[in-house]
Structure 1
Amino acid sequence: MAHYQRMGDVPPKRHTQHRGPDGELYYEELMGEEGFSSDSSLLYHRHVPSALVDARPWALPEQATTANTPLLPRHLTPHLLFADAAGLVDAEAVAKTDAVTGRRLLLGNADVRIGYVVAGAPSPLYRNATGDECVFVEDGTALVETVFGDLVVGPGDYVVMPRATTHRWVPTGDAPLRLYAIEGNSHIGPPKRYLSRYGQLLEHAPYCERDLRPPTPPHEEEDRDYKADGGFEVYVKHRGSGPGAGGGLAGTVHVLPHHPFDVVGWDGCLYPYAFNVADFEPITGRVHQPPPVHQVFEGHNFVVCNFVPRKVDYHPLAVPVPYYHSNVDSDEVMFYVAGDYEARKGSGIGIGSITLHPGGYPHGPQPQAIEASLGAERFDELAVMVDTFRPLDLGEGGAACDDGAYAWTWAGGRAGG
């Protein structure tokens, strides 16, 4: 995200000596993308950022996937993954679940993994070394502590976390923290068509830099000597192979002698930020607009869109709900966050539902929803959509919460029963 920020104590010129009040030299770290050829930031640490005192394997949550065979549209109900026998939030289990190690993999391919978690406990320090993360806060509030500073987040926030950023999620408030996690194997940022050649968001973009919330200035966490206290553990997700590497991923716990949040200042164009979906300005027209007008972010071989409350098509003969469409090149995943989603009425879809419409399958509104939508002037709906350009497989969480009935709802039921 080429939007320059400067936080804390940095020297007048980069790659020059920078010392503290006691005369001690700070350690400069360049965090950059694409091998020194893209966005970067310079961070100034009190301690050597490369220092390790121990390492051990981390057994990741299950990352293996199974093919969507036979090819079917799916309706997933991820709320039930964290519910008790009565279908209510399992408060005792959630109180022990954190936003990193508790994620359940719903869908994934070689480019992106989509997970869900309901968390009540602080996460460990965490670094995703495989790609950027775009995490949508469905409900609850949290303090996201990072090496750059803190983000205070709540319902409707996207949190975009650059690859290899050390951070942790700390739930706040009384409600459980519900997160929809989109993990890329690439970088995630605004659509290129909305950016100038220098990286500024253009006038026709549905949001601008004013809507992005950078972290607070960095602050030092309490430090200690590892010899006495055992060091600071950072959970690292990274590429792997061989035994224990599910989905081509592996985990390692690095033990550091000093707290990684020892940054006194940083500047640059690479950092985590938050963006609230309420600040997305919807693009509408006289007739139904195609999904790309709802795009908010993109990664390699996938895009993220959001459908927000908006006025709808104003041609006198407009059909406000989507037309039937075949996903020739992509799989479509829709997470229904809030509101009244007109096109899915009669299908069993509700708040918290996730649908998968795979490539090779034509889909669209439930038949009765078309007539019911005629004359509508506004849709009160909120949904997050991920379109991928490789087929998505089912993760263990997705397989566990598939309702098994959605594919037959357009025909009124499955033949033979």
Structure 2
Amino acid sequence: MAYYRSTGSVPPKRHTQHRDPDGRLYFEELMGEEGFSSDSSLLYHRHLPSALVDSRVWQPAEDKPEPNHPLKPYHFRLHDLFPGESWRQADPVRDRRVVLGNADVRIAYVAAGLPSPLYRNAIGDECVYLESGSGVMESVFGSIEVGEGDYVVVPRATTHRWLPTGDAPLRLYAIEANSHITPARRYLSKFGQLLEHAPFCERDLRGPVGPLLSEEPGDVEVYVKHRVGGDIGGTVLTTPEHPFDVVGWDGCLYPYAFNIRDYEPITGRIHQPPPAHQVFEGNGFVICNFVPRKVDYHPLSIPVPYYHSNVDSDEVMFYCGGDYEARKGSGIGQGSVSLHPGGHTHGPQPGAYERSIGAEFFDERAVMVDTFRPLDLAEGGRAGDDGRYAWSWSGRGPQGELPPQGELPPQGDRS
């Protein structure tokens, strides 16, 4: 996000001496993308940022996803992945349950009540959507208070942690990329400014407040997710000083938050295609959101989506507010995720097409991820499958009658 910020104490000229009141040098760190060829920030540490005293294996709780074969659409019930009070013993990083994934992106969900450890994703950027709850995301750049409806974009390799607040679960829908995540390119000028036709602007973005100068003693563990061969693995690095020792930073690379309520929907006389609702993109996928809005006002319009084939993409929809008109009668509700894979024609549930005629407003909220490579089913998806969604348009399954919704297994242990 090429939008300059400066926080705390930085020297007048980059790559020059910067000293504390006692004359000791601060240590400058360049955090930059694409080598030295894209957005970056300079951070000034009180201690050596590369100092380590230990390194040990951490295996994130991610199994090997299975192909969607035989091909069919799915409905995953994410709230049932954390039943009862189990969220009180979960943290926002180590207890994520991956639902879907491919080589470009993984989609995970967690309901958490415990603080996360310090965490760094060295594979790609993360875009984390807060379905409900409240908390603070602390990082080497500072802190961001977060709540319901916030997207939080965290650049690759940013050391950070999540601290839930209040007595309700912090429900996070985590989109973990294998690349960087940016606002949709068609909303940006050639220099990176959000343009006049964009549905949000820089005023809507909330950057970190800081600096954070932790007094927590070392040794401090940082959980790092990274590639191990062709698989996803992890390491716990132990540092002799707390990473939150940055006295100041400046640049165009940092975490930021954007609330979905600040997204201004694009509407028209007839139904607008999903790209009109785009907000972010990464390599091999886009992120769109559907928000409360006036709907199509042509006298013969049909406000719900037309039936469509995803020729080049898999569509994942996370239903996180309101009442989604096109899915009425399918069993989908708050906390549901639908997967409509490429090769399957999908659209409104039976009756929704006709019922929508004459509607003037939809009160709905959903986050959509479209991927351009097929998505595989991971552990959280297999556990959350309702077992019947694929047959909901016809009203009967392979054995004739529509099968009942199955019971979900309990949450697995954290590894």
The alignment's TM-score, normalised by the length of structure 2, stands at: 0.95
Distance 1:256 1:415, change over 3 A: closer
Partner of 1:385: 368
Which runs of 5 or more residues in structure 1 are unaligned?
A: 84-89, 242-246
SS at match of 2:151: strand
2:390 corresponds to 1:397: no
SS at match of 1:186: coil
Partner amino acid, structure 2, of 1:328 = V
Alignment of 1:198-237 (within 5 A): 198-224=191-217, 226=218, 231-237=219-225
Q: Percent identity?
A: 71
User: What is the aligned counterpart of 1:153 among 129, 134, 146?
Assistant: 146
SS at match of 1:65: coil
Taking the aligned partners of 1:59 and 1:270, their CA distance within structure 2 comes to 28
2:297 corresponds to 1:309: no
User: What is the aligned counterpart of 1:414 among 380, 397, 403?
Assistant: 397
CA contact (8 A) 1:125 1:168 kept: yes
1:415 to partner: Cα distance:
4.2
Taking the aligned partners of 1:258 and 1:217, their CA distance within structure 2 comes to 18
User: What is the aligned counterpart of 2:180 among 187, 201, 213?
Assistant: 187
The alignment's TM-score, normalised by the length of structure 1, stands at: 0.95
Partner of 1:324: 307
CA contact (8 A) 1:103 1:117 kept: yes
SS at match of 1:407: helix
Partner amino acid, structure 1, of 2:224 = V
Taking the aligned partners of 1:232 and 1:416, their CA distance within structure 2 comes to 56
1:96 to partner: Cα distance:
1.5
1:44 to partner: Cα distance:
0.1
Runs of 4+ in 1 over 4 A off after TM superposition: none
Partner amino acid, structure 1, of 2:25 = L
Taking the aligned partners of 2:398 and 2:59, their CA distance within structure 1 comes to 43
2:47 corresponds to 1:47: yes
Taking the aligned partners of 2:88 and 2:382, their CA distance within structure 1 comes to 24
2:190 corresponds to 1:170: no
CA contact (8 A) 1:335 1:353 kept: yes
Structural RMSD (CA) = 0.8
2:227 corresponds to 1:239: yes
Partner of 2:245: 262
Q: Deviations over 1:164-186 (max 9, x none)?
A: 00000000011110000000000
Partner of 1:129: 122
Q: Deviations over 1:22-41 (max 9, x none)?
A: 10000000000000100000
User: What is the aligned counterpart of 2:326 among 343, 350, 360?
Assistant: 343
Taking the aligned partners of 2:162 and 2:210, their CA distance within structure 1 comes to 17
1:74 to partner: Cα distance:
0.2
Taking the aligned partners of 2:319 and 2:139, their CA distance within structure 1 comes to 29
Q: How many positions carry a matched residue from both structures?
A: 400
Taking the aligned partners of 1:400 and 1:219, their CA distance within structure 2 comes to 39
CA contact (8 A) 1:77 1:402 kept: yes
Which runs of 5 or more residues in structure 2 are unaligned?
A: 401-415
Partner of 2:92: 99
SS at match of 2:233: strand
